[in-house]
Chains A and B, each alone.
Chain A
Amino acid sequence: MQVPDKFLYTKEHEWVSINGRTATIGITDYAQGHLGDITFVDVPKAGAVVTQFKRCATVESVKAASDVYAPVSGKVAKANAELAPHPEYVNQSPYEKGYFAVIEMSDEKETANLMKAAEYKKYVEGLT
Protein backbone atom coordinates (compact mmCIF):
# COMPACT_ATOMS: atom_id res chain seq x y z
CA MET A 1 0.00 0.00 0.00
CA GLN A 2 1.37 3.34 -1.05
CA VAL A 3 1.23 6.34 1.29
CA PRO A 4 3.27 9.20 -0.18
CA ASP A 5 5.23 11.04 2.50
CA LYS A 6 4.47 14.59 1.45
CA PHE A 7 0.68 14.26 1.42
CA LEU A 8 -1.81 14.76 4.24
CA TYR A 9 -4.67 12.34 4.96
CA THR A 10 -8.14 12.04 6.47
CA LYS A 11 -9.78 9.24 8.42
CA GLU A 12 -12.15 8.77 5.49
CA HIS A 13 -9.15 7.93 3.27
CA GLU A 14 -8.85 11.08 1.23
CA TRP A 15 -5.41 12.54 0.49
CA VAL A 16 -4.44 16.13 -0.13
CA SER A 17 -1.27 17.56 -1.62
CA ILE A 18 -0.72 21.18 -0.62
CA ASN A 19 1.15 23.67 -2.74
CA GLY A 20 0.82 27.18 -1.35
CA ARG A 21 -2.95 27.80 -1.22
CA THR A 22 -3.62 25.16 -3.84
CA ALA A 23 -4.70 21.69 -2.74
CA THR A 24 -4.96 18.65 -4.99
CA ILE A 25 -7.26 15.97 -3.60
CA GLY A 26 -8.09 12.33 -4.21
CA ILE A 27 -8.69 9.00 -2.47
CA THR A 28 -5.90 6.84 -1.09
CA ASP A 29 -4.47 3.60 -2.37
CA TYR A 30 -6.08 1.87 0.63
CA ALA A 31 -9.50 3.29 -0.35
CA GLN A 32 -9.26 2.29 -4.00
CA GLY A 33 -8.13 -1.21 -3.04
CA HIS A 34 -11.12 -1.70 -0.78
CA LEU A 35 -13.65 -0.26 -3.24
CA GLY A 36 -12.66 -2.62 -6.04
CA ASP A 37 -13.02 -1.73 -9.71
CA ILE A 38 -14.19 1.86 -9.92
CA THR A 39 -16.81 2.47 -12.59
CA PHE A 40 -17.78 6.10 -12.11
CA VAL A 41 -16.61 9.18 -10.25
CA ASP A 42 -18.93 12.10 -9.67
CA VAL A 43 -16.28 14.82 -9.29
CA PRO A 44 -17.09 18.26 -7.86
CA LYS A 45 -17.79 20.96 -10.44
CA ALA A 46 -15.28 23.77 -11.01
CA GLY A 47 -16.47 26.81 -9.06
CA ALA A 48 -18.26 24.76 -6.42
CA VAL A 49 -17.51 25.62 -2.80
CA VAL A 50 -16.51 22.68 -0.63
CA THR A 51 -16.20 22.41 3.13
CA GLN A 52 -13.68 20.36 5.08
CA PHE A 53 -15.05 16.92 6.00
CA LYS A 54 -18.28 17.56 4.09
CA ARG A 55 -19.28 15.46 1.07
CA CYS A 56 -17.78 16.77 -2.18
CA ALA A 57 -17.81 13.76 -4.53
CA THR A 58 -19.17 10.27 -4.98
CA VAL A 59 -17.20 7.30 -6.17
CA GLU A 60 -18.93 4.27 -7.55
CA SER A 61 -17.42 0.83 -7.86
CA VAL A 62 -18.83 -2.53 -8.89
CA LYS A 63 -19.63 -3.06 -5.20
CA ALA A 64 -20.92 0.21 -3.79
CA ALA A 65 -21.28 3.93 -4.11
CA SER A 66 -19.34 5.89 -1.49
CA ASP A 67 -19.18 9.51 -0.51
CA VAL A 68 -15.89 11.34 -0.69
CA TYR A 69 -15.30 14.17 1.79
CA ALA A 70 -13.30 17.32 1.14
CA PRO A 71 -10.03 17.24 3.12
CA VAL A 72 -9.90 21.06 3.05
CA SER A 73 -12.39 23.89 2.52
CA GLY A 74 -12.31 26.17 -0.50
CA LYS A 75 -13.39 26.63 -4.07
CA VAL A 76 -12.93 23.98 -6.73
CA ALA A 77 -10.45 25.42 -9.26
CA LYS A 78 -10.36 22.37 -11.50
CA ALA A 79 -12.02 18.98 -11.61
CA ASN A 80 -10.28 16.00 -13.17
CA ALA A 81 -12.25 15.65 -16.42
CA GLU A 82 -10.24 12.54 -17.35
CA LEU A 83 -12.11 10.49 -14.74
CA ALA A 84 -15.33 10.53 -16.74
CA PRO A 85 -13.89 8.46 -19.60
CA HIS A 86 -11.25 6.78 -17.37
CA PRO A 87 -12.60 5.99 -13.89
CA GLU A 88 -9.98 3.20 -13.74
CA TYR A 89 -7.30 5.86 -13.22
CA VAL A 90 -8.41 5.95 -9.58
CA ASN A 91 -7.45 2.27 -9.26
CA GLN A 92 -4.32 2.46 -11.36
CA SER A 93 -2.88 5.73 -10.17
CA PRO A 94 -4.71 7.02 -7.09
CA TYR A 95 -2.17 9.73 -6.27
CA GLU A 96 -1.50 11.09 -9.78
CA LYS A 97 -3.75 10.45 -12.79
CA GLY A 98 -6.61 9.50 -10.46
CA TYR A 99 -6.77 12.80 -8.54
CA PHE A 100 -10.29 14.22 -8.12
CA ALA A 101 -9.92 17.99 -8.11
CA VAL A 102 -7.77 21.02 -7.36
CA ILE A 103 -9.07 23.31 -4.63
CA GLU A 104 -8.17 26.91 -3.85
CA MET A 105 -8.01 26.70 -0.08
CA SER A 106 -9.92 29.21 2.00
CA ASP A 107 -8.29 28.39 5.36
CA GLU A 108 -4.75 27.02 5.47
CA LYS A 109 -5.02 26.38 9.21
CA GLU A 110 -7.39 23.49 8.49
CA THR A 111 -4.41 21.29 7.57
CA ALA A 112 -3.89 20.91 11.32
CA ASN A 113 -6.98 18.66 11.30
CA LEU A 114 -5.32 16.21 8.91
CA MET A 115 -2.95 13.28 9.43
CA LYS A 116 0.65 13.12 8.24
CA ALA A 117 1.75 10.05 6.23
CA ALA A 118 3.20 8.15 9.20
CA GLU A 119 0.09 8.78 11.26
CA TYR A 120 -2.19 7.66 8.46
CA LYS A 121 -0.14 4.50 7.94
CA LYS A 122 -0.54 3.65 11.60
CA TYR A 123 -4.26 4.47 11.44
CA VAL A 124 -4.77 2.14 8.49
CA GLU A 125 -2.77 -0.65 10.15
CA GLY A 126 -5.09 -0.30 13.11
CA LEU A 127 -8.08 -0.89 10.85
CA THR A 128 -6.91 -4.22 9.49
Chain B
Amino acid sequence: MSNYVPHTAKDIREMLEAIGVKSIDDLFRDIAPALRPKSFDIPEGKSEFEVCRSVQKLAGKNATDLTNFVGAGFYDHYIPAAVDALASRSEFYTAYTPYQPESSQGWLRAIYEYQTAVCELTGLDVANASLYDGGTALYEAAMMAVRLTGRHKIIVDQGVNLIYRTMLYTYTTNLSIEFVETPVVHGQSARAEILKHLDDRTAAVIVQNPNFFGAIDDYTDVASKAHAAGALAILSVYPIALGMLKSPGEMGFDIATGEGQSLGIPLSFGGPYLGFMACKQELVRQMPGRIVGATVDSDGKRGFVLTLQTREQHIRREKATSNICSNEALCALRAVIYLSLMGKTGLKELARLNYDKAEFAKSILEKVPGVTVKRTSPTFNEFTICLPRNADDVVHKMIDKGFAAGFPLGRFYKGLDNYLLMAVTEKRTREELMKFRDSLEAVLCD
Protein backbone atom coordinates (compact mmCIF):
# COMPACT_ATOMS: atom_id res chain seq x y z
CA MET B 1 0.00 0.00 0.00
CA SER B 2 1.39 3.41 -0.88
CA ASN B 3 1.55 6.12 1.71
CA TYR B 4 -1.72 7.87 2.34
CA VAL B 5 -1.26 11.42 1.05
CA PRO B 6 -4.24 13.67 1.64
CA HIS B 7 -2.96 16.65 -0.36
CA THR B 8 -0.27 17.11 -2.98
CA ALA B 9 2.23 19.93 -2.62
CA LYS B 10 0.33 21.68 -5.43
CA ASP B 11 -3.00 21.32 -3.55
CA ILE B 12 -1.46 22.83 -0.46
CA ARG B 13 0.14 25.70 -2.36
CA GLU B 14 -3.16 26.54 -4.08
CA MET B 15 -5.10 26.48 -0.84
CA LEU B 16 -2.57 28.70 0.90
CA GLU B 17 -2.64 31.15 -2.01
CA ALA B 18 -6.43 31.24 -1.97
CA ILE B 19 -6.50 32.34 1.64
CA GLY B 20 -3.46 34.57 1.32
CA VAL B 21 -1.09 32.75 3.66
CA LYS B 22 2.51 31.91 2.84
CA SER B 23 3.02 28.66 4.72
CA ILE B 24 1.15 26.16 6.87
CA ASP B 25 3.13 27.38 9.86
CA ASP B 26 1.60 30.82 9.36
CA LEU B 27 -1.78 29.31 10.22
CA PHE B 28 -0.54 28.67 13.75
CA ARG B 29 0.96 32.11 14.34
CA ASP B 30 -1.64 32.87 17.04
CA ILE B 31 -0.17 30.12 19.22
CA ALA B 32 2.96 31.22 21.07
CA PRO B 33 6.02 29.27 19.81
CA ALA B 34 6.70 28.00 23.33
CA LEU B 35 3.28 26.37 23.43
CA ARG B 36 3.68 24.57 20.10
CA PRO B 37 4.80 20.96 20.09
CA LYS B 38 8.43 20.64 19.08
CA SER B 39 7.82 17.51 17.13
CA PHE B 40 4.93 15.13 16.65
CA ASP B 41 7.45 12.30 16.53
CA ILE B 42 5.67 10.61 13.67
CA PRO B 43 7.83 7.94 12.04
CA GLU B 44 8.10 7.44 8.30
CA GLY B 45 5.17 5.70 6.68
CA LYS B 46 4.98 1.90 6.85
CA SER B 47 3.42 -0.61 4.52
CA GLU B 48 0.05 -2.20 5.30
CA PHE B 49 1.80 -5.50 6.01
CA GLU B 50 4.19 -3.87 8.48
CA VAL B 51 1.39 -2.02 10.24
CA CYS B 52 -0.71 -5.18 10.56
CA ARG B 53 2.17 -7.16 11.95
CA SER B 54 3.03 -4.50 14.47
CA VAL B 55 -0.57 -4.03 15.65
CA GLN B 56 -1.16 -7.78 15.85
CA LYS B 57 1.95 -8.10 17.99
CA LEU B 58 0.57 -5.42 20.32
CA ALA B 59 -2.85 -7.08 20.40
CA GLY B 60 -1.16 -10.37 21.25
CA LYS B 61 -0.16 -8.88 24.59
CA ASN B 62 -3.82 -8.81 25.63
CA ALA B 63 -4.99 -11.69 27.76
CA THR B 64 -8.04 -13.01 25.97
CA ASP B 65 -8.34 -16.51 27.37
CA LEU B 66 -8.57 -15.85 31.12
CA THR B 67 -11.58 -17.22 32.96
CA ASN B 68 -13.17 -14.03 34.20
CA PHE B 69 -14.35 -13.30 37.73
CA VAL B 70 -13.95 -9.52 37.49
CA GLY B 71 -17.12 -7.49 37.76
CA ALA B 72 -16.97 -4.16 39.58
CA GLY B 73 -19.63 -2.63 37.38
CA PHE B 74 -18.99 -4.46 34.08
CA TYR B 75 -19.96 -8.09 33.67
CA ASP B 76 -18.99 -11.04 31.52
CA HIS B 77 -22.37 -12.23 30.23
CA TYR B 78 -23.03 -14.42 27.25
CA ILE B 79 -24.10 -12.51 24.14
CA PRO B 80 -26.39 -14.51 21.83
CA ALA B 81 -25.12 -14.61 18.23
CA ALA B 82 -28.30 -12.93 17.02
CA VAL B 83 -27.28 -9.69 18.75
CA ASP B 84 -24.18 -9.33 16.54
CA ALA B 85 -25.96 -10.58 13.43
CA LEU B 86 -28.81 -8.08 13.71
CA ALA B 87 -26.92 -5.10 15.09
CA SER B 88 -24.23 -5.38 12.43
CA ARG B 89 -26.70 -5.06 9.56
CA SER B 90 -25.48 -2.07 7.60
CA GLU B 91 -28.86 -0.29 7.93
CA PHE B 92 -28.08 -0.02 11.62
CA TYR B 93 -24.33 -0.20 11.71
CA THR B 94 -23.46 2.48 9.19
CA ALA B 95 -26.19 5.01 9.93
CA TYR B 96 -25.10 8.31 11.39
CA THR B 97 -27.69 10.32 13.37
CA PRO B 98 -30.50 8.24 11.91
CA TYR B 99 -33.33 10.28 13.34
CA GLN B 100 -35.14 11.78 10.36
CA PRO B 101 -38.63 10.37 10.77
CA GLU B 102 -39.27 10.31 7.02
CA SER B 103 -36.37 7.92 6.43
CA SER B 104 -35.60 6.23 9.75
CA GLN B 105 -38.76 4.60 11.03
CA GLY B 106 -36.93 1.32 11.69
CA TRP B 107 -34.30 2.93 13.85
CA LEU B 108 -36.76 5.14 15.70
CA ARG B 109 -38.98 2.15 16.37
CA ALA B 110 -36.00 0.22 17.77
CA ILE B 111 -35.15 3.08 20.13
CA TYR B 112 -38.80 3.36 21.15
CA GLU B 113 -38.81 -0.37 22.00
CA TYR B 114 -35.54 0.09 23.92
CA GLN B 115 -37.13 2.86 25.99
CA THR B 116 -40.10 0.63 26.71
CA ALA B 117 -37.77 -2.18 27.83
CA VAL B 118 -35.91 0.19 30.19
CA CYS B 119 -39.23 1.35 31.67
CA GLU B 120 -40.30 -2.26 32.24
CA LEU B 121 -36.96 -3.15 33.82
CA THR B 122 -36.86 -0.17 36.16
CA GLY B 123 -40.57 0.02 36.93
CA LEU B 124 -40.57 3.72 36.04
CA ASP B 125 -42.68 5.76 33.60
CA VAL B 126 -40.28 7.31 31.09
CA ALA B 127 -36.87 6.33 29.73
CA ASN B 128 -34.65 8.33 27.42
CA ALA B 129 -32.95 7.00 24.31
CA SER B 130 -29.73 6.36 26.32
CA LEU B 131 -26.65 8.23 27.51
CA TYR B 132 -22.92 7.51 27.24
CA ASP B 133 -22.51 5.15 30.19
CA GLY B 134 -23.63 4.37 33.73
CA GLY B 135 -21.53 7.19 35.17
CA THR B 136 -22.74 9.99 32.91
CA ALA B 137 -26.30 8.78 33.41
CA LEU B 138 -25.85 9.07 37.18
CA TYR B 139 -24.39 12.57 36.81
CA GLU B 140 -27.36 13.63 34.69
CA ALA B 141 -29.73 12.24 37.33
CA ALA B 142 -27.95 14.25 40.03
CA MET B 143 -28.25 17.41 37.92
CA MET B 144 -31.96 16.72 37.35
CA ALA B 145 -32.41 16.63 41.12
CA VAL B 146 -30.54 19.92 41.55
CA ARG B 147 -32.72 21.62 38.93
CA LEU B 148 -35.96 20.14 40.23
CA THR B 149 -35.41 20.93 43.89
CA GLY B 150 -33.37 24.11 43.57
CA ARG B 151 -31.09 22.59 46.23
CA HIS B 152 -27.35 21.95 46.04
CA LYS B 153 -26.45 19.17 48.44
CA ILE B 154 -26.28 15.53 47.38
CA ILE B 155 -25.83 12.52 49.63
CA VAL B 156 -23.91 9.70 47.96
CA ASP B 157 -23.59 6.27 49.48
CA GLN B 158 -20.04 4.87 49.38
CA GLY B 159 -21.49 1.68 47.95
CA VAL B 160 -21.86 3.62 44.67
CA ASN B 161 -19.10 2.60 42.24
CA LEU B 162 -16.05 4.82 42.81
CA ILE B 163 -15.81 5.35 39.05
CA TYR B 164 -19.29 6.89 39.10
CA ARG B 165 -18.54 8.98 42.18
CA THR B 166 -15.35 10.27 40.56
CA MET B 167 -17.34 11.17 37.45
CA LEU B 168 -19.94 13.01 39.56
CA TYR B 169 -17.25 15.07 41.27
CA THR B 170 -15.35 15.75 38.06
CA TYR B 171 -18.39 16.92 36.12
CA THR B 172 -19.49 19.23 38.94
CA THR B 173 -16.04 20.67 39.78
CA ASN B 174 -17.08 24.15 38.70
CA LEU B 175 -20.61 24.03 40.08
CA SER B 176 -21.42 24.80 43.69
CA ILE B 177 -22.72 21.38 44.59
CA GLU B 178 -21.90 19.89 47.96
CA PHE B 179 -21.46 16.11 48.09
CA VAL B 180 -21.69 14.20 51.34
CA GLU B 181 -20.57 10.56 51.32
CA THR B 182 -22.16 8.13 53.73
CA PRO B 183 -20.38 4.91 54.70
CA VAL B 184 -21.13 1.29 54.02
CA VAL B 185 -21.06 -0.86 57.16
CA HIS B 186 -20.79 -4.65 56.71
CA GLY B 187 -21.83 -4.23 53.10
CA GLN B 188 -24.98 -2.23 53.83
CA SER B 189 -25.71 1.51 53.59
CA ALA B 190 -25.56 3.19 56.99
CA ARG B 191 -29.16 4.41 57.22
CA ALA B 192 -28.50 6.49 60.34
CA GLU B 193 -25.74 8.41 58.54
CA ILE B 194 -27.99 9.10 55.55
CA LEU B 195 -30.73 10.34 57.89
CA LYS B 196 -28.26 12.51 59.77
CA HIS B 197 -27.33 14.40 56.61
CA LEU B 198 -30.81 14.60 55.06
CA ASP B 199 -32.10 18.15 55.45
CA ASP B 200 -33.96 20.91 53.63
CA ARG B 201 -30.85 21.63 51.53
CA THR B 202 -30.62 18.09 50.19
CA ALA B 203 -31.43 17.71 46.50
CA ALA B 204 -30.98 13.94 46.30
CA VAL B 205 -29.85 10.73 47.92
CA ILE B 206 -27.92 8.39 45.62
CA VAL B 207 -27.55 4.68 46.32
CA GLN B 208 -26.61 1.68 44.21
CA ASN B 209 -28.20 -1.78 44.08
CA PRO B 210 -26.39 -4.16 44.20
CA ASN B 211 -23.78 -1.89 45.74
CA PHE B 212 -20.12 -2.00 44.80
CA PHE B 213 -19.50 -4.84 47.27
CA GLY B 214 -22.23 -6.87 45.60
CA ALA B 215 -24.66 -6.49 48.50
CA ILE B 216 -28.33 -6.24 47.65
CA ASP B 217 -30.87 -4.37 49.71
CA ASP B 218 -34.40 -3.02 49.75
CA TYR B 219 -33.95 0.74 49.72
CA THR B 220 -37.65 1.58 50.03
CA ASP B 221 -36.98 3.25 53.38
CA VAL B 222 -34.19 5.42 51.92
CA ALA B 223 -36.50 6.62 49.12
CA SER B 224 -39.31 7.51 51.50
CA LYS B 225 -36.96 9.26 53.93
CA ALA B 226 -35.55 11.30 51.04
CA HIS B 227 -39.06 12.27 49.96
CA ALA B 228 -39.98 13.28 53.50
CA ALA B 229 -37.09 15.76 53.37
CA GLY B 230 -38.22 17.07 49.97
CA ALA B 231 -35.28 15.42 48.22
CA LEU B 232 -35.29 13.05 45.26
CA ALA B 233 -34.14 9.44 45.45
CA ILE B 234 -31.79 8.13 42.76
CA LEU B 235 -30.86 4.48 42.35
CA SER B 236 -28.06 3.16 40.16
CA VAL B 237 -28.89 -0.41 39.16
CA TYR B 238 -27.41 -3.46 37.45
CA PRO B 239 -29.98 -4.44 34.81
CA ILE B 240 -29.46 -8.21 34.94
CA ALA B 241 -30.10 -8.15 38.70
CA LEU B 242 -33.50 -6.58 38.00
CA GLY B 243 -34.55 -10.00 36.71
CA MET B 244 -35.00 -10.97 40.35
CA LEU B 245 -34.70 -7.85 42.51
CA LYS B 246 -37.32 -5.28 43.45
CA SER B 247 -37.27 -2.56 40.79
CA PRO B 248 -36.40 1.09 41.53
CA GLY B 249 -40.02 1.98 40.78
CA GLU B 250 -41.31 -0.55 43.31
CA MET B 251 -38.99 0.92 45.92
CA GLY B 252 -40.37 4.40 45.22
CA PHE B 253 -37.28 5.87 43.55
CA ASP B 254 -37.71 8.93 41.34
CA ILE B 255 -34.86 8.26 38.93
CA ALA B 256 -33.04 5.05 38.00
CA THR B 257 -29.81 4.93 36.03
CA GLY B 258 -27.31 2.23 35.23
CA GLU B 259 -24.66 0.73 33.04
CA GLY B 260 -26.25 -1.21 30.19
CA GLN B 261 -23.09 -3.08 29.14
CA SER B 262 -24.49 -6.34 30.53
CA LEU B 263 -27.31 -6.20 27.98
CA GLY B 264 -25.51 -7.66 24.99
CA ILE B 265 -22.52 -5.33 24.80
CA PRO B 266 -19.05 -6.92 24.91
CA LEU B 267 -16.58 -6.03 27.64
CA SER B 268 -13.95 -3.72 26.26
CA PHE B 269 -11.57 -1.31 27.82
CA GLY B 270 -13.21 2.10 27.50
CA GLY B 271 -16.43 1.00 25.87
CA PRO B 272 -18.50 1.94 23.97
CA TYR B 273 -20.95 1.22 26.72
CA LEU B 274 -24.49 2.31 27.42
CA GLY B 275 -26.01 4.55 30.05
CA PHE B 276 -29.70 4.04 30.68
CA MET B 277 -32.02 6.36 32.54
CA ALA B 278 -35.67 6.25 33.55
CA CYS B 279 -37.75 8.51 35.77
CA LYS B 280 -41.24 9.27 36.98
CA GLN B 281 -43.55 11.00 34.52
CA GLU B 282 -43.68 14.26 36.47
CA LEU B 283 -39.90 14.73 36.15
CA VAL B 284 -39.75 14.26 32.39
CA ARG B 285 -39.35 17.97 31.64
CA GLN B 286 -35.96 17.88 33.32
CA MET B 287 -34.78 14.67 31.70
CA PRO B 288 -31.79 15.17 29.39
CA GLY B 289 -31.00 13.55 26.07
CA ARG B 290 -33.36 12.19 23.50
CA ILE B 291 -36.73 10.51 23.67
CA VAL B 292 -38.44 8.83 20.75
CA GLY B 293 -42.20 9.18 20.86
CA ALA B 294 -44.99 7.35 19.08
CA THR B 295 -47.34 9.49 17.04
CA VAL B 296 -49.71 9.38 14.10
CA ASP B 297 -48.81 10.78 10.66
CA SER B 298 -51.04 12.81 8.34
CA ASP B 299 -52.50 9.59 6.92
CA GLY B 300 -53.39 8.36 10.38
CA LYS B 301 -50.60 5.75 10.41
CA ARG B 302 -48.57 5.04 13.52
CA GLY B 303 -45.05 6.47 13.39
CA PHE B 304 -42.11 7.44 15.55
CA VAL B 305 -40.28 10.74 15.98
CA LEU B 306 -37.62 12.23 18.17
CA THR B 307 -39.33 14.53 20.61
CA LEU B 308 -37.01 15.51 23.44
CA GLN B 309 -33.90 16.22 21.37
CA THR B 310 -35.85 18.60 19.13
CA ARG B 311 -37.00 20.42 22.22
CA GLU B 312 -33.53 20.54 23.75
CA GLN B 313 -31.39 21.44 20.75
CA HIS B 314 -33.71 23.39 18.48
CA ILE B 315 -36.12 25.04 20.89
CA ARG B 316 -34.50 25.39 24.28
CA ARG B 317 -30.94 25.81 22.95
CA GLU B 318 -28.92 27.50 25.70
CA LYS B 319 -31.73 26.71 28.15
CA ALA B 320 -31.42 22.98 27.49
CA THR B 321 -31.20 20.69 30.50
CA SER B 322 -27.90 19.15 29.46
CA ASN B 323 -25.11 19.74 27.02
CA ILE B 324 -25.01 16.05 26.31
CA CYS B 325 -27.69 15.23 23.79
CA SER B 326 -25.89 12.25 22.33
CA ASN B 327 -27.09 8.77 22.80
CA GLU B 328 -25.54 5.38 22.26
CA ALA B 329 -27.96 4.26 19.59
CA LEU B 330 -26.08 1.17 18.43
CA CYS B 331 -25.48 -0.02 22.00
CA ALA B 332 -29.12 0.68 22.87
CA LEU B 333 -30.09 -1.39 19.84
CA ARG B 334 -27.95 -4.27 21.09
CA ALA B 335 -29.63 -3.94 24.48
CA VAL B 336 -33.14 -4.14 23.08
CA ILE B 337 -32.22 -7.09 20.84
CA TYR B 338 -30.65 -8.83 23.83
CA LEU B 339 -33.68 -8.19 26.04
CA SER B 340 -36.06 -9.32 23.31
CA LEU B 341 -34.12 -12.57 22.92
CA MET B 342 -34.13 -13.14 26.67
CA GLY B 343 -37.77 -12.27 27.15
CA LYS B 344 -39.40 -11.75 30.52
CA THR B 345 -38.98 -15.35 31.65
CA GLY B 346 -35.49 -15.66 30.22
CA LEU B 347 -34.27 -12.63 32.13
CA LYS B 348 -35.69 -14.02 35.36
CA GLU B 349 -34.02 -17.38 34.71
CA LEU B 350 -30.75 -15.65 33.84
CA ALA B 351 -30.82 -13.65 37.06
CA ARG B 352 -31.56 -16.79 39.05
CA LEU B 353 -28.70 -18.64 37.34
CA ASN B 354 -26.28 -15.84 38.22
CA TYR B 355 -27.46 -15.83 41.81
CA ASP B 356 -27.26 -19.62 42.18
CA LYS B 357 -23.79 -19.90 40.63
CA ALA B 358 -22.47 -17.15 42.87
CA GLU B 359 -23.93 -18.89 45.93
CA PHE B 360 -22.32 -22.14 44.83
CA ALA B 361 -19.00 -20.35 44.37
CA LYS B 362 -19.30 -18.92 47.89
CA SER B 363 -19.96 -22.38 49.32
CA ILE B 364 -16.82 -23.90 47.82
CA LEU B 365 -14.54 -20.88 48.36
CA GLU B 366 -15.24 -20.66 52.05
CA LYS B 367 -13.76 -24.13 52.45
CA VAL B 368 -10.40 -22.90 51.12
CA PRO B 369 -8.10 -22.54 54.13
CA GLY B 370 -7.59 -18.88 55.08
CA VAL B 371 -10.47 -17.59 52.92
CA THR B 372 -13.52 -15.96 54.49
CA VAL B 373 -16.61 -15.25 52.43
CA LYS B 374 -18.35 -12.10 53.67
CA ARG B 375 -21.90 -13.12 54.47
CA THR B 376 -23.20 -10.10 56.37
CA SER B 377 -25.45 -9.16 53.44
CA PRO B 378 -27.26 -11.06 50.74
CA THR B 379 -25.68 -10.63 47.31
CA PHE B 380 -26.66 -11.09 43.67
CA ASN B 381 -23.84 -12.44 41.49
CA GLU B 382 -20.95 -10.60 43.06
CA PHE B 383 -19.50 -10.92 46.53
CA THR B 384 -16.51 -10.12 48.65
CA ILE B 385 -14.02 -12.58 50.02
CA CYS B 386 -11.25 -11.90 52.53
CA LEU B 387 -7.87 -13.48 51.75
CA PRO B 388 -5.06 -14.21 54.17
CA ARG B 389 -2.81 -11.88 52.14
CA ASN B 390 -2.77 -8.95 49.76
CA ALA B 391 -5.49 -9.47 47.13
CA ASP B 392 -3.49 -7.67 44.42
CA ASP B 393 -0.65 -10.21 44.76
CA VAL B 394 -3.08 -13.11 44.68
CA VAL B 395 -4.74 -11.72 41.54
CA HIS B 396 -1.34 -11.49 39.81
CA LYS B 397 -0.51 -15.09 40.70
CA MET B 398 -3.93 -16.30 39.56
CA ILE B 399 -3.34 -14.82 36.09
CA ASP B 400 -0.60 -17.43 35.58
CA LYS B 401 -3.19 -20.09 36.41
CA GLY B 402 -5.54 -18.74 33.74
CA PHE B 403 -7.88 -16.68 35.89
CA ALA B 404 -8.85 -13.04 36.20
CA ALA B 405 -9.69 -13.68 39.83
CA GLY B 406 -11.56 -10.52 40.72
CA PHE B 407 -11.22 -6.90 41.67
CA PRO B 408 -8.91 -6.14 44.63
CA LEU B 409 -10.97 -3.77 46.80
CA GLY B 410 -7.82 -2.12 48.21
CA ARG B 411 -7.56 -0.22 44.91
CA PHE B 412 -10.72 1.74 45.77
CA TYR B 413 -11.11 1.44 49.55
CA LYS B 414 -8.53 2.09 52.26
CA GLY B 415 -7.85 -0.78 54.63
CA LEU B 416 -9.37 -3.43 52.35
CA ASP B 417 -6.08 -4.68 50.87
CA ASN B 418 -6.89 -8.31 51.58
CA TYR B 419 -10.39 -8.14 50.13
CA LEU B 420 -11.29 -9.43 46.71
CA LEU B 421 -14.53 -8.66 44.87
CA MET B 422 -15.64 -11.57 42.68
CA ALA B 423 -18.38 -11.78 40.09
CA VAL B 424 -19.81 -15.11 38.97
CA THR B 425 -22.00 -14.90 35.88
CA GLU B 426 -23.99 -17.57 34.04
CA LYS B 427 -20.89 -18.21 31.90
CA ARG B 428 -18.90 -19.77 34.72
CA THR B 429 -19.19 -23.54 34.71
CA ARG B 430 -18.98 -25.86 37.66
CA GLU B 431 -15.70 -27.15 36.26
CA GLU B 432 -14.24 -23.63 36.09
CA LEU B 433 -15.34 -22.91 39.63
CA MET B 434 -13.73 -26.11 40.93
CA LYS B 435 -10.52 -25.37 39.05
CA PHE B 436 -10.56 -21.82 40.40
CA ARG B 437 -10.90 -23.13 43.95
CA ASP B 438 -7.99 -25.53 43.50
CA SER B 439 -5.81 -22.84 41.93
CA LEU B 440 -6.60 -20.37 44.69
CA GLU B 441 -5.76 -22.97 47.30
CA ALA B 442 -2.44 -23.65 45.54
CA VAL B 443 -1.61 -19.93 45.27
CA LEU B 444 -2.40 -19.34 48.94
CA CYS B 445 -0.21 -22.31 49.97
CA ASP B 446 2.82 -20.92 48.12
Contact = CB atoms under 8 A, between A and B. Distances in A.
B46 interface: no
Contacts of A42: 285
Contacts, number: 17
Nearest to A45: B150
A65 B317 contact: yes
A65 B315 CA distance: 6
A45 B150 CA distance: 10
A58 interface: yes
Interface string B282-298: 00010000000000000
B319 interface: yes
Interface string B308-331: 000100011101000000000000
Interface string A56-74: 0010111111010000000
Contacts of A60: 311, 315-316
A100 B317 CA distance: 23
Contacts of B285: 40, 42
Nearest to A61: B315
B209 to A, nearest CB: 31
Interface centre among B150, B285, B315, B316 (most CB of A within 10 A): B315
A58 B285 CA distance: 12
Contacts of B319: 58, 65, 67
Nearest to A67: B319
A109 B308 CA distance: 42
A63 to B, nearest CB: 7
A78 to B, nearest CB: 18
Contacts of A62: 315
Interface string B82-121: 0000000000000000000000000000000000000000
A42 B285 CA distance: 9
Contacts of A61: 315
Nearest to A63: B315
Nearest to B318: A65
Nearest to B320: A65
Contacts of A45: 150
A65 B319 CA distance: 7
Nearest to B286: A42
Nearest to A64: B315
Nearest to B316: A65
Contacts of A65: 315-317, 319
Interface centre among A61, A64, A65 (most CB of B within 10 A): A65
Interface of B: 150, 285, 311, 315-317, 319
13 contacts: A40-B285, A42-B285, A45-B150, A58-B319, A60-B311, A60-B315, A62-B315, A63-B315, A64-B315, A65-B315, A65-B316, A65-B317, A67-B319
Given A65-B315, A65-B316, 9 more contacts: A42-B285, A45-B150, A58-B319, A60-B315, A60-B316, A62-B315, A63-B315, A64-B317, A67-B319
